[in-house]
Chains A and B, each alone.
Chain A
Amino acid sequence: GQQVMQIPQYQHVQEGEDFTTYCNSSTTLSNIQWYKQRPGGHPVFLIQLVKSGEVKKQKRLTFQFGEAKKNSSLHITATQTTDVGTYFCAGYTGGGNKLTFGTGTQLKVEL
């Protein structure tokens, strides 16, 4: 079945440092979504990428979708304590309704 892996599993950074998480799928994705889950909370949608090679920005967050539509990345510039949480990528294959979530990257930001 489809597998979506993320690296790293955990990341500790000092406030102000940059952070990147990478997402790799075993199959080609029709689109990819990113979610953020705060400690004790539920996943919340951040963004969706659809086109091969697409890049989107949300303030300090930059999202990329790979040319082959099998990988993606999320980069946070100058992390803040509010960025703490687990970041999940999630992808659809074909025209299906099933979203496969990645393994997640837990980000901790220290002052």
Chain B
Amino acid sequence: DAGVIQSPRHEVTEMGQEVTLRCKPISGHNSLFWYRQTMMRGLELLIYFNNNVPIDDSGMPEDRFSAKMPNASFSTLKIQPSEPRDSAVYFCASRYSGSGFNEQFFGPGTRLTVL
């Protein structure tokens, strides 16, 4: 298995532009998580999906952020419009929910820089 796949790996954009981050979870996993990591705030959960349905989006910073999961093998996190304070590493993670073992598998992350 290729693991969790994220694209792009690096993104540099200008303030005000739309940014779309993509994630392909591990096949067979039914839960997907989006995290943001910064030096100041650490690793924060933004939103998670269970069976493609958003369950908890309380970590989404504001309306500029939106996430979708149209099917079991793809999810997007969109920022529109982007701001410099959105600069961070964004991780996608997936896991299989339904057994007692709840390990999360993280993707390599997308490093976002908003100028």
Contact = CB atoms under 8 A, between A and B. Distances in A.
Contacts of B101: 48
Contacts of B18: none
Interface size class of A (residues with CB under 8 A): 10 to 19
Interface residues of B, number: 23
Instruction: Classify the secondary structure of A's interface with B.
Output: strand
B55 A99 contact: no
Interface in B68-115: 91, 93, 97, 100-109
Interface stretch (A39-47, A56-64, A67-75): A39-47
Given A31-B102, A33-B102, A103 B31 contact: no
Interface string B41-69: 01101001010000110000000000000
Given A97-B50, A98-B56, A45 B45 contact: no
A45 B103 contact: yes
Interface of B: 31, 33, 35, 42-43, 45, 48, 50, 55-56, 91, 93, 97, 100-109
Interface of A: 31, 33, 41-45, 48, 50, 88, 92, 97-101, 103-104
